[in-house]
């Protein structure tokens, strides 16, 4: 991972800046480093075996302390700029990691996907096997939480992982994180789960595979997503279970993207832009949608990872067979229905909903303008009810007011002239 990342960063360093995106501009290497710097990066000890992966620019920012350029010295008598709190966070990661490993040592053999080949497994009803599979998925993930938390703590202890300050001025040490447990176990959709699982490997896949396969100026399609997942499978190893998992993962990712495109808009304001990153407070219906999304997401993922844990082809097929292939049925059924016209039909419904909301809003604005014009018609200029600024009434009303003011002025001058003659 480090070598391919380094190679692409060197390649980006030879390209014109306008052809790069923001992340590529930050990580580009315009000049080759020395051998000492290169080997120091490659053999950076805390991340040597299982990550987290990092770029060469991040490593050099740690070495020359430009990583802490926005931080004040730790003490008046010290030139070190490493913010305080580093050791405390590292020890917290240590405790959490050891706790996860201990939990897995206690329950990992009981809640293991190998039980799907046991004789007693098929004597249980499907609902029991389904729920048991969900518990197995959680227990098997815990060992990864433990390992990655320990390596993250090691990186933080050396000073890597600093990510600025929060609103209260406390140092944040989460940039070396490889997982976000809460966002995994309670993810409302597959995208959120994948974005928070093996974060640095996902970053590597996105920057070194996904972006590189996309045609210039075009958005990557489903085929690019599938190539990226298969690259991840090859990177993991040669066991059939890896390929079964990541091939299905590519299909799940594509299916989840269609759900976000065609189902999610019905639970959001109709006129909200599709790519909006700022969402209004969730309604009750949206909260129910998110809860159902969490249940569906974990149900599919815990099914998908069975081959990843079993590795050999025969146990993988047996495991999915005992679960009646429910993950494949849901994912392939949704994609097939969509290709047969379902997505087109849902797209029309989403568009019609937005047009209806826009028409209703336009009618409301028109009625408000008519009401305001009616209120303004009684005077030449009146303060607006919103901010107190002067507003101009309709032209015919203004002309009538000016004529009345002119007549009053003439009458006043005539009376004043009469008084002066008498004097």
List residues with catalytic annotation. Answer: 236
Backbone angles phi, psi at 183, to 5 degrees: -75, -15
Listed in sequence order, the DSSP H helices in 126-214 are: 126-158, 181-185, 190-195, 199-205, 211-213
Smallest CA-to-CA distance from 7 within 40, 35, 29 is with 29
Smallest CA-to-CA distance from 61 within 160, 134, 156, 163 is with 160
Quote the CA–CA distance of 56 and 143 in Å, as a whole number.
Answer: 28
Whether the bond into 52 is cis, omega within 30 of 0: yes
Listed in sequence order, the DSSP H helices in 196-312 are: 199-205, 211-213, 222-236, 240-262, 284-304, 306-310
Q: How far is CA 395 from the centre of its chain?
A: 53
Encoding tokens for residue 277? 């990153």
> What b/e string do you get for 274-295 counting C-beta neighbours within 10 Å, with b at 16 or more?
eeeeeeeeeeeebeebbeebbe
Burial tier of 184 (Cβ tally within 10 Å: 0-12, 13-18, 19+): buried
């Amino acid at each position: 991972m480090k070598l391919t990342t380094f190679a692409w960063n060197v390649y980006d360093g030879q390209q014109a800046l306008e052809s790069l995106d923001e992340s590529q501009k930050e990580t580009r290497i315009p000049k080759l480093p020395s051998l000492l710097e290169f080997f120091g990066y490659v053999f950076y000890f805390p991340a040597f075996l299982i990550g987290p992966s990092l770029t060469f620019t991040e490593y050099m920012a740690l070495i020359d302390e430009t990583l802490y350029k926005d931080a004040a010295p730790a003490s008046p008598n010290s030139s070190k700029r490493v913010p305080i709190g580093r050791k405390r966070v590292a020890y917290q990661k240590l405790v959490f990691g050891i706790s996860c490993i201990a939990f897995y040592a206690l329950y990992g053999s009981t809640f293991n996907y190998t039980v799907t080949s046991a004789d007693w497994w098929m004597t249980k009803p499907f609902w029991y096997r389904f729920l048991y599979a969900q518990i197995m998925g959680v227990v098997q993930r815990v060992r990864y939480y433990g390992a990655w938390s320990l390596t993250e703590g090691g990186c933080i202890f050396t000073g890597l992982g600093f990510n600025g300050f929060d609103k209260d001025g406390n140092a944040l040490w989460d940039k070396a994180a490889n997982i976000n447990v809460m966002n995994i176990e309670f993810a409302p959709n597959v995208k959120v789960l994948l974005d928070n699982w093996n974060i640095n490997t996902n970053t590597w896949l996105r920057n070194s595979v996904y972006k590189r396969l996309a045609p210039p100026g075009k958005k990557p399609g489903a085929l690019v997503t599938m190539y990226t997942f298969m690259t991840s499978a090859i990177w993991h190893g040669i066991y059939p279970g890896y390929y079964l998992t990541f091939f299905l993962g590519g299909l799940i990712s594509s299916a989840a993207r269609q759900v976000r495109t065609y189902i999610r808009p019905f639970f959001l304001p109709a006129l909200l832009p599709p790519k909006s990153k700022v969402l209004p407070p969730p309604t009750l219906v949206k909260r129910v949608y998110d809860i159902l999304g969490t249940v569906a997401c974990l149900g599919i993922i815990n099914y998908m990872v069975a081959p990843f844990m079993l590795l050999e082809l025969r146990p993988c097929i047996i495991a999915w067979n005992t679960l009646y292939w429910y993950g494949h049925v849901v994912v392939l059924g949704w994609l097939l229905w969509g290709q047969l016209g379902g997505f087109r039909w849902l797209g029309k419904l989403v568009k019609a909903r937005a047009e209806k909301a826009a028409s209703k809003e336009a009618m409301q604005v028109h009625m408000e303008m008519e009401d305001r014009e009616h209120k303004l018609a009684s005077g030449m200029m009146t303060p607006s009810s919103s901010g107190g600024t002067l507003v101009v009434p309709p032209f015919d009303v203004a002309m009538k007011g000016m004529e009345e003011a002119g007549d009053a002025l003439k009458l006043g001058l005539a009376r004043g002239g009469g008084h002066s003659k008498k004097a």
